[in-house]
Structure 1
């Protein structure tokens, strides 16, 4: 039987995804009709992004699963009309992009590269940075992305602490969990990387109290979610010197409004949500494999726990 698969994302993305998705579905041996429009009652699977016009899933009575194009699912997990399995995007291209961005910015701050790149007075500051082994890095959110970044940083010699809500093990990585573990993770973080999902428990996790627990002069790197941080508290910490620099890729409102204080602070770097983009070719393979698994009666990979929100 032919599977009807609806591409329910921004129409501007359709030209980039159409051929990779068709090729991947064919490679998985699936007889599929992939379109941007179907009568709702005919749809078997939905390739979805929260930017889609689809907000009410109730008319999709034949729907078997929703395959999210993005790693973040906070824009859809609370939708009470969605009553079928939801899979988030975890694919090699997305992971590699995050590893490259995080590693690049951690090394940038560790080596103090900004002082050499922007040196308008041609000053000669002969001051070598410590070795990586003497610069503790903490990653809050030690899932697939956090672990991939942690392993790369560990391979460069950084002592890495990974924190998550639940316990876990990783060779060569200091693993902490829970409320007490969070305090320990913050207290040693000269560079702090945020890779947590956005849930009711993680919103504003980096508030004035949390920021005060960091070593004075710590660096904050956030490619996770903007609302993990209390903006006002971060601005205060940057102004006082408690945080020496913040490199931010995600924000509560995107694009970041031109009047936002982050633009004018000299110790803030704004990047335009580019840390980890979904790459159509690798994402298409992940989606097609998941649909094939579902059709074979196997569990979906990267299934979202709706109660936890990720």
Structure 2
């Protein structure tokens, strides 16, 4: 957990504490990988702290701070239940993870209990809130329609549009800005993390995603090498070694490559693959725009089922066959 507020969240931290009276429910919205969860945890801790500091940070010495988060009776975290297969193979198949209705039912039972501290405050943190399935969303809505007294709900998400409209309408939105490139660089340096600027570009400037991606360098290099071959791609090279992080991760990388291809086609600079600009620029001269746009739509549709337990190697081969065809249709 962070000891202080990340610099790019300072304004949000001041703004949220500037409210004389908080609403019963907040949505913390921001780009993936910028530290939203840590910000929410720090805020929940300060909200429950018995002796918060003048800058609103928790004191770290009261009983509430010492309990937080795992043993605090007035703090409840609701998160998706991990559901990963047990295959001993090198590939990783992660099924879609949702917050289920049983979890919200358990939350409802928890809220029937009295608060432990004298202030009577409680915090419910739901993260990521966009993982609520339909039944769980409806059950949460009923709670938000008649919220328990002195209970603050915090919904953290990078995809607020996935929340049902009736939940969004009952929450106050707080936008958490992304760090600037200089802020992201400074953060990684302070953490003593060795990285390349190209990695920050690849993650869209998200420092925490950059940290996660450090261990995926080999997979990125393999896929980049294949994509850079364009029409000459060797489909026989497409295999399970490219699925060690799951099909969803591989699809995300291909979508970023396609986005940069489209930018280069329109004579704009790359956004994600800064160090591949020359190769992408060369490939952009060979593409058929209609085929590229159609392929983009197909990737978006496939992304919806990427976490399903299907034959992922076959899916991946089809993806690269269709990628090859955006160059063949000229």
What TM-score, normalized by structure 2, do the two folds share? 0.33
What TM-score, normalized by structure 1, do the two folds share? 0.34
**Larger % of strand: which?**
1
Considering only CA atoms, is the larger Rg found in Structure 1 or Structure 2?
2
